[in-house]
Structure 1
Amino acid sequence: MSSSKKKSKKKATSAFPFKGFVVLFAGLVVLIVVILWSSLFKAYPVEGQKQMLAIDDGDTYSGFIDRLAKEDKVSFPVVLKLYQKFIIHDSMKAGVYEVHQGMSVREVMQLVSNAENAQMNRILVIEGTTFKQLIAQLKKDDLVTKEVLNLPQEQMLQALGIPFSHPEGLFAPDTYFFAKGETDKKILTDLYKRQMKALDKAWNNRASGLPYKDKYEALIMASIVEKETSLDSELNQVSGVFIRRLEQGMRLQTDPTVIYGMGDRYTGNITRTDLRTPTAYNTYTNNGLPPTPIALPSQKAIEAAMHPDNSNNVYFVATGNGGHKFTASLDEHNRAVQEYLTVIRSKN
């Protein structure tokens, strides 16, 4: 065999690893393109030509991406999270955004990182929160124009045209949509009018013989009921217990009123000393209702305050497994307390 043929064969042999590398590299590029296209550049799922996307205060990209992945609306969620971390850097901004058909997932992620892109402001007022928490929420909201939030409480109520000396309980909890840049005065006025409308309707259709002097006392009761149970099915039962206590001259003895009266002193635990320390809101030391509501009650809680159940129960205690056990006598109540303690011990 001649030397020229040997060289030709050697060249052909050395070319194979290079060609293999090229094929491997090309395949890797194609794979990356497919992954990017299936994640970042995939069309965001839109029903119709456009739809509104609501982002709440505290929502995160991680949770948003996980939800889309769980609903099979995006692929390769880890790629989306890396893109947010290294490219967007910023957090999601609360608001309501208009998403058009054909927009990519990447474009939507960029859209919700800037509050200036929001079309509307979504304000979520959770039942059972306090007026103080509502004000703090509005103060943090960059899409709310501030006019009255920083006024002293009395001046704020005057500016809002509200004929009460205390704001607690006067604003309806719900999910609201306001124009971007709406004033705090307009927002609070709308929430107040809605709460008064619900209160008037419930008062006009209330059960007979209730121990309230006026509808404001019913609102106070509604706030207590709201704080005592998170189950809609128990609202009328809780209302019945406290109304019967009022009728029988018993003290309400409800912890949420004590906690409200403690104000900033409350750090998550309530002690026997707290229960014995007099405040205007301590229903362990005072007879009757507290002087004002203790939270923002929902319409369901207001209705429950006007329509208590028809049982004889004057006690209730948590079951330890969700919900409460309602009883009519102290002996039954003490047994229910022991049952609750047994459940708690079994879980520790």
Structure 2
Amino acid sequence: MWKHVAANGLSLLIVALLAVGGVVAWGKRAYEQPGPLAEAICLRVEPGSNMRRVSEELAARGAVDTPQIMRLGATYTERSDDLKAGSFLIREGASMADIVGEITAEGQSTCGTEVVYRIGVTESEIRVRELDPATGRFDIVAEFDPAAEAEAPEAYTEVADRNDTRFRIAMAEGVTSWQVVEALKAADFLSGEVAGVPPEGMLAPDSYEVRPGAIREDLLALMQERQGDRLSTAWENRAEGLPYDTPAEALTMASIVEKETGVPEERGQVASVFVNRLREGMRLQTDPTVIYGITNGEGVLGRGLRRSELDAATPYNTYQIDGLPPTPIANPGLASIEAALNPDETDLLYFVADGTGGHAFGRTLAEHNENVARWRAIEAERQSN
């Protein structure tokens, strides 16, 4: 009798274990299989929230079928206590495992609001952008110049203190160090004083993600470190026989190339013209250096050069001095640095605007004069229309 009872008990235990195993296997499949979300959403996790609250919201928005399984899966994988505050992009068909991974990762928001402070050559502005989860594109909801406007728009002040708002500094190629410092001073989401303007040319144009309260001097130090690394690498891989002996001179050349053309495919040709002129003992004769000698990099000239300015003897007037000016005239991007240290191999000595935004290049003075005549005709036609 007892043997019979024991046998039945063992059978029941086996059946129970099999049932539990089946439930576990089913739960694992449900946790890892694609979810029901038909269109991507942006999920905002508030500070102090928990996995129950988040899973219930996801269920209400159609991202998960069974919030209990999501919570059990998070517990089983030891992620329940890793929930981060922020805004997270939950993609179409994301599994519960994918969602848990997204909201418990490094805590970097992947959607929602982004504040981009673009430091440009002629103007700087803050843009408040919202990511549209359905399209993956940002919609601009506000634009303003913090240095020129006394009050920021409401669309900015409403999101500036939110924990999931991301901040980014986007520094354009060709801005001067003075322009960068002045722009950073106007950013109310940064902190700390700036002791002085960094050396011209030694700030790397790039995109820098920052946190509210980031110290301005630390950001400038990062910009200098990045530019130093770029210059060092490019110098190590430079072409042979260049007419400058130090990385500092190469950086000066790169800044001239940066200011002379905004057409990426022209940088190597423009650099080759200046390199060839240095080799031939010709003066560089480039307007941007003259302009820098007038403005000292503090803003833009805003007008054409006068004959008296072209004739004036200054350290930056390359119509009057031999060789390179004493310092860079702006902060060049990586492509211009590489062009200066690996220019195209040409016999070009001249270039002038061609009316399309690019330049017409010439090997001889006669070719150059023809190109200049064509450009003046284009200018005259534009002025008459």
User: TM > 0.5 between the two?
Assistant: yes
Q: Does the CA contact (< 8 Å) of 2:203 and 2:223 recur in 1?
A: yes
Partner AA of 2:218 in structure 1 = K
Q: Closer, same or farther in 2 for the Cα pair 1:330/1:141, shift >3 Å?
A: same
The CA deviation at 1:345 is 2.3
Partner AA of 1:323 in structure 2 = G
The CA deviation at 1:130 is 0.4
Match of 1:133 in 2: 179
Q: Does the CA contact (< 8 Å) of 1:115 and 1:143 recur in 2?
A: no
Match of 1:316 in 2: 351
The CA deviation at 1:222 is 0.3
Matches within 5 A, 1:143-292: 143-147=189-193, 149=194, 151-153=195-197, 167-263=199-295, 266-292=301-327
Cα distance between partner residues in 1 of 2:217 and 2:356: 43
| 1:90 maps onto 2:125 in alignment | no
Cα distance between partner residues in 2 of 1:256 and 1:73: 36
Q: Does the CA contact (< 8 Å) of 1:254 and 1:283 recur in 2?
A: yes
Q: Does the CA contact (< 8 Å) of 1:221 and 1:293 recur in 2?
A: yes
Cα distance between partner residues in 1 of 2:270 and 2:264: 10
| Residue among 277, 284, 296 paired with 2:331 | 296
TM-score computed with the length of structure 1 as normaliser: 0.68
Q: Does the CA contact (< 8 Å) of 2:115 and 2:165 recur in 1?
A: no
The CA deviation at 1:146 is 1.3
Report the secondary structure of 1:177's partner residue. Answer: strand
The CA deviation at 1:45 is 11
Report the secondary structure of 2:191's partner residue. Answer: coil
Residue segments in structure 2 that go unaligned for 5+ positions in a row: 1-60, 62-86, 92-98, 100-108, 118-124, 143-151
Partner AA of 2:185 in structure 1 = K
Provide the identity percentage. 39
Report the secondary structure of 2:251's partner residue. Answer: helix
Match of 2:116 in 1: 56
Q: Deviations 1:245-271 (Å, cap 9, x if unpaired)?
A: 111111101000011010169333212
Q: Does the CA contact (< 8 Å) of 1:118 and 1:180 recur in 2?
A: no
- Structure having the higher strand fraction is 2
Match of 1:35 in 2: none
Report the secondary structure of 2:352's partner residue. Answer: strand
Match of 2:369 in 1: 334
Q: Does the CA contact (< 8 Å) of 2:114 and 2:165 recur in 1?
A: no
The CA deviation at 1:273 is 1.5
Partner AA of 1:56 in structure 2 = V
Cα distance between partner residues in 1 of 2:165 and 2:207: 16
Shifted more, 114-123 versus 225-234: the winner is: 114-123
Q: Does the CA contact (< 8 Å) of 1:222 and 1:297 recur in 2?
A: yes
Cα distance between partner residues in 2 of 1:313 and 1:143: 48
Cα distance between partner residues in 2 of 1:180 and 1:236: 39
The CA deviation at 1:280 is 1.4
CA RMSD of aligned residues (A): 3.1
The CA deviation at 1:143 is 1.6
Cα distance between partner residues in 1 of 2:310 and 2:225: 35
Q: Does the CA contact (< 8 Å) of 1:119 and 1:180 recur in 2?
A: no
The CA deviation at 1:305 is 0.2
Bigger RCO of structures 1 and 2 (CA < 8 A, at least 6 apart)? 1
Cα distance between partner residues in 2 of 1:195 and 1:277: 32
Partner AA of 1:168 in structure 2 = E
Partner AA of 1:238 in structure 2 = V
Q: Closer, same or farther in 2 for the Cα pair 1:45/1:136, shift >3 Å?
A: same
Partner AA of 1:339 in structure 2 = R
Q: Deviations 1:176-232 (Å, cap 9, x if unpaired)?
A: 102221111211111111111111111111000001121110000000000000011
Partner AA of 1:92 in structure 2 = Y
- Structure having the higher helix fraction is 1
Cα distance between partner residues in 1 of 2:239 and 2:294: 33
Q: Closer, same or farther in 2 for the Cα pair 1:141/1:346, shift >3 Å?
A: same
Q: Does the CA contact (< 8 Å) of 2:259 and 2:288 recur in 1?
A: yes
The CA deviation at 1:119 is 4.5
The CA deviation at 1:169 is 0.2
Cα distance between partner residues in 2 of 1:138 and 1:285: 35
The CA deviation at 1:152 is 4.2
Cα distance between partner residues in 1 of 2:358 and 2:153: 43
The CA deviation at 1:308 is 1.2
Report the secondary structure of 2:318's partner residue. Answer: coil
Report the secondary structure of 1:239's partner residue. Answer: helix
Residue segments in structure 1 that go unaligned for 5+ positions in a row: 1-42, 82-87, 94-109, 158-166
